[in-house]
Each structure stands twice: as C-alpha cells, then as structure tokens.
Structure 1
Amino acid sequence: MSTTSSASWASTLSVSASSWSKALEPIRTDGPSAALPSGPALLAHVDDRLDHFRHLDDELGSGEVYQLARSELSLIVKLISSRRYDGRTVDYLHAMASEAARQVAWAAFDQSRPGVAQRFFDGSLRASAEAGDPISGAYALSFAAIQCYSTPGHAGRAVSLLQTAQEQVRRKATPRMHAMLAARTARALSKTGAKKACARQLDIARKALGKGPHDDDPKTLYWVD
C-alpha cells in the first residue's frame, strides 16, 4: 500500500468520526441509551443473523462474513427505504445497519482492502447517527482504530478515533464497553511509544472489567472478558 493511499483513507476516517460526533451532539443526554425494541419478527431474525455472523467470523474468517454481511446490509437498507417502519423501529433498523456495515468494513480490512473498509466504516457511523445510538458507532470506531494502528504512521490517528468514541459514550456505556475502548486505546498508544498513557488506559480497562457484567452490555461485546 502506498503512503498516499493510506493517508487518504485514514484522513477520511478522521473526517467521518468528526461528522459522526457532531451529528450526535444534539441528542446527547446524561443517561444511558434507551433499549432498542424487539421489533417485528423479521427484524428479530436479522438481528439474530448479525449475531451469528460475528461468531462465524471467529470460526471461518472474514471471507464468508464479507459477502453475508453485505447481503444483510442490503436487506436492511431496503427495509428502511420501504417506509413500512417508523419511530423506534426505524432507529432499530439503522442501528442494525451500523453493525452490518461494521462487519463488512472489518472483513474488508482483513482481506487487505482498506479503502473499501473505510467506506463501510463511514456508512456504519452514518447509520449510528441516524439511529441516535452512539454505542454502535463507538464500536465501529474501535475497529477503524485497529485499521489505523495496524498501518505504519497512523497510530496517533487511531488514538484520536478512540478518544472520540470514548467521549460520545462516556455517560452511556457499560463498564465492559469502557474497558474495551480503554484496552484498544492502550494498544494504539503503545504504537506511539506513549508508555505512561498506555499504562493508564490499561489500568482503566482493568478497573472497568472488575465491575463485572451488566444486563445491558451490548451483545457485540461477548468476547470482552
């Protein structure tokens, strides 16, 4: 990958994160995000499939997930465009679109397609903002940060993405979510050589995990322990 191309997608990720943060500002509250409704049976099935794809990635890798998640994202977009749903159900659909796009983005990155990954990370953040759901967007940013800190010269950008995520979920996330974001921030900081800051984030992660699981932990964080 050329330095120019990596700088291009990395810069675009930063712009996407900034736009996402600004879009969420009008709806920020001091309380936790409201629980998403279970929705019609079709939506529940879509949610179940997205959960299955997360585990499928653990077992079979990104190649299978890329195609499956992209098809699921297409279905979700069609459901949104159908105008059959409104209110919190539409928010639910946008939150699922955010997760589906994140899965596509992560699979694309794993397949060495960073430009494609960046576009789907952007789509994930846009859907998160439409849903008024900062948790899904912060989760997407935590994976976009891995793309950055895995690319020489972009660890500092990864730190910035994670700081944006942490700020948006500061009063909304469960301890497990805070632990995940702190651990990934520590990883990014380790790439920059900021040893004290890295150790501080690891300490935050340990203390957060020590608070134990919560009933409202996002399903996406099943792997954080």
Structure 2
Amino acid sequence: MTAYQSPTALPGELLGQEKMRAAIAAHNFGVVFALAREVAEISYSKIAAECDIKPERVGTLARGRGRITSFDKIAKIADALRIPGHLLGLAPREWELANPPCHASAAPTGNAITNREETDTVLRREFFKASAGAGLVVALPELAQANSHRRVGGQVPEQLRQRTARLRRLDDILGGGDTFRVYLGEYQATKAVLREGSFTEETRRALLSVLSEQAQQAGWAAFDAGKHADARSLYEDSHQTAIESGEAALAGNALAFLAYQRVDVDHTAGIETAIQACRTAGPDAAPGVRALLYERLAWTYAISGNADETERALNVAETALNESNGNPQPDWAAWVDRNELQIMTGRCWTELRRPLRAVPVLEAVLAQYDDTHARDKSLYLSWLASSYLAAGEVEQAAAVTGRALELSAGVASVRPRARLAPVLRQLGDHHAVPAVAEVLERAKL
C-alpha cells in the first residue's frame, strides 16, 4: 500500500535552507508558511487545510503576528509539511519511520550547530518524547540503574536537579496543558526512587530537595492548566518535603505558590500565607528568592486593595534585588530580575486601579518582551488593557486586547483567556466604537 503523500510536503532543498531551518528550530511557523508559499508555491489555503488552521490565521502568522505553541498543533504541522522530527525537537514521526527521508542537505554537519542550539534541541526532544509517553528515565541511565539495583549513588540528586532545571525552561514557551504530565512524571519518578531505593542520609535529603522543586514545577503547570486541586496538593507536598530536607527557601516558595492560589478566594488567607512564606525563607535566603517572595506578598496586598502595604512589599523586593549576600541563586528563582519586578509592579497598580502608575511601567517592560513568551506576554498585556480602560482610553485598550488575543491563540494555558474575559466584558460597554467591535468579533473566533 502506498503511503499517504501530503500535498504540502516541503521539498528537501527548501528544508536545507538556513532561513527555513532557523525558523523551524525556533518554531516560527509564520516564516515557515511564508517560505513554503514563496519558494515551494504552496498556497496558504492548502497549508490551512492540511494543518487544520483557519486560513486567515495562516496569513496572520505569515505576516509575523502571533505564535503557535501547542504541542498538538506543532505535531500536526510537522506531519502536514513533512518536517523531520529532529528539526523541531520531536521524536521521529510515524511517516519518517515508514519512509526514511533522503534530505541529505537538511542534516547538520561539522560545527553548524552551536552548543546552545544543541542544548535547545535536546531540551525539546526530551520534552516531546516524554509527552508522547516515552520512558522518563531514558535520558538518565544512572537513575534507571539505581531503580533496578535499589541503590542510589550520591551523584544522582545533582543529575536530577540539572535535568529539572533543563525541563523548567519549557515553561518559558509552553503552557501547563502541555507540560503538566511531563513535570508530574518527573516528580513521580523521583518519588519512586525515594520509596524503593537505598541511599545515605545525605543523598536522601538531597533527593527530597529535588522532589520539592519538582512538586512546585508540576504544581505550577497544574495551576496554569486550570487543575487547581492538583496544584494545591502538589504545593502542599512540596512544602512538607522542603521542610523534611531542611530547605527553608524552598519551603517558603511552596507557601508563596499557595498564597498566590489562595488569595483569589480568600484575601486574608492569601496574605497570611504570603507573610509566612517570607518568614520561612528568612533574611539569609538568596536575594532573588527574597525578591520573589516579597513581590508575591505585594500581589496579595494588591488583590485585597491595600496600596500602602503593596508599595512597601515591592520596595523590599527591589532592595533585595540590589543586594548580594553571597548566597547562590537557585535555578528555580533564576528568572527573577528587574523586568519581572517591573511586570509585577505594573500588575499590582492595575489591580489597585492606579493606571497612571501602571501604564508607563507595563509599556516600558513589555516593549522588551519577546513574542516567543506568548502565554506570559498575553497575560501581561491583559493588565495593560485593564489599566487603559481604567484611564478611559478605550481604543488603546481594544488594540492591546487584540494583541493579547492573538498571542494567546493556541497556548495550552487557561489563564490568558480567563484574564481577558473581564476586559472583554468591559469593552462590551463600548461596542459602538469600531476598534472595540472588531476585537469583540475576533474574540468569538
């Protein structure tokens, strides 16, 4: 039987072009679609039909607006355009195994791939293999050996910690709907080692520390995917495990996650938990950790409408970032920097309905934010849109909301649309404004 030949299959010479390979590696499908039409004369309507994407969205992507970050959609595009899995960081596709491609020009040679590109490719491959149900210990033979012989060497916790750090980077570009089962599988695998293996007390405590990190990451992905009960359970497990391992900073961060979740339903409980998080981590925690915990404390105060305490907590966070107490920054807090603090500052002033303070901060920092971080950027834009509405700038709010909708399309996270829902309801009061009517119509798609 002849294998199905996709009418949108990209020719080998196009796959070998540097610009196309760079676009594929970056998951920049707008450039991929544009080159497919320009070089291979594959129409956007044909791409849309084969990739199960609306034709107008294909054109929008080709014009450089929006991103595709859903694993299912990426896999669909790979199969429709016959893009070899390794170029995207996927495991070999079924059609590749049945009909091995002969794209010699598409294979990397010599030093064509930098160390960073190699790392990124390995990262994506690990993720998509795991998502497809591959064994979670396949990239860590030492752990597999430890499981089979019930003996865990002292090097395993650090190997697991490094693996956890690599997988954590997936949260930069993918939503919790895509990453939750990967992170949960890592957590469960480490838990099984602790339950079944034998090790020294020092190794046990190190494993518990890694387990706490993994529980937090899985909890965050669950929260992002709308699995709030799972998130709460994982945060609580992380807190208990961190205490058992003697990791005060990790224990504090687990509480901060719980506070972030609780404040939406109980302002008082959220604030109290956030205060406890700061106290638990203590003054000797790394500067980035203290900044992270205090900005989350500021958020709980902002949600409750307490402007004075919000500003005080933000100032403490900023002071922490300016300090250096010699304690190394853990990887789970490495993303906390001045841009992150500015984002949180803008969010807090938006919640406090102080647009004159929120808008300049959010506009400045979002101008530097790359679209590859589609989930986060769409979320932050929703706060900017809210502040524009509070200031009476309806057309500008509509423009920002439209951009947020564009970025959030296809992102496996419930939060962007949940955040945009009240903004769209407020815009509904101005439906007679043409710019607003256009955005409201787009939101229905």
Which TM-score applies when normalising by structure 1? 0.76
Alignment of 1:26-37 (within 5 A): none
> Aligned partners of 2:285, 2:243: CA distance in 1, in Å?
16
Gaps of 5+ in 2: 1-152, 338-445
Query: Percent identity among equivalent residues?
Result: 25
> Out of 216, 235, 249, which is 1:135 matched to?
249
Match of 2:220 among 106, 128, 140: 106
Query: Whose radius of gyration is greater, 1 or 2?
Result: 2
Do the aligned residues in 1 keep the contact of 2:251 with 2:280 (CA within 8 Å)? no
Equivalent position of 1:35 in the other structure? none
Structure 1 residue 82, shift from structure 2 partner: 2.6
Task: Give the alignment of 1:116-131 within 5 angstroms.
Answer: 116-131=230-245
Question: Secondary structure at the residue paired with 2:168?
Answer: helix
**Conserved in 2, the CA contact under 8 Å of 1:97 and 1:127?**
yes
What is the rounded CA distance, in whole Å, between the counterparts of 2:270 and 2:335 in structure 1? Answer: 21
1:168 and 2:253 correspond: no
Query: CA offset at residue 83 of structure 1?
Result: 4.0
Which residue pairs with 2:309 in the alignment?
197
Considering fraction of residues, name the structure with more helix.
1
Amino acid at match of 1:200: R
Distance 2:330 2:270 in 1: 22
Aligned residue in 2 for 1:18: none
Residue among 146, 165, 188 paired with 1:74 = 188
Is 1:183–2:300 an aligned residue pair? no
Q: In the alignment, what sits opposite 2:330?
A: 218
Match of 1:85 in 2: 199
User: What corresponds to 1:21 in structure 2?
Assistant: none
Deviation at 1:204, TM superposition (A): 0.8
Deviation at 1:212, TM superposition (A): 4.5
Shift of 1:52: 1.5
SS of the aligned residue for 2:173 comes to helix
Q: Which amino acid aligns with 2:169?
A: H
Shift of 1:64: 3.0
Conserved? CA contact 1:138–1:169, under 8 Å: yes
Q: Secondary structure at the match of 1:60?
A: coil
> TM-score normalized by structure 2?
0.40
CA RMSD of aligned residues (A): 1.8
C-alpha contact (below 8 Å) 2:252/2:279 kept by paired residues: no
Q: Which amino acid aligns with 1:127?
A: T
Which 4+ runs in 1 deviate beyond 4 A?
A: 212-215
Query: Bigger relative contact order, structure 1 or 2, given CA contacts below 8 A and separation 6+?
Result: 1
1:200 Cα shift?
0.8
Contact 2:180 2:221 survives alignment (8 Å):
yes
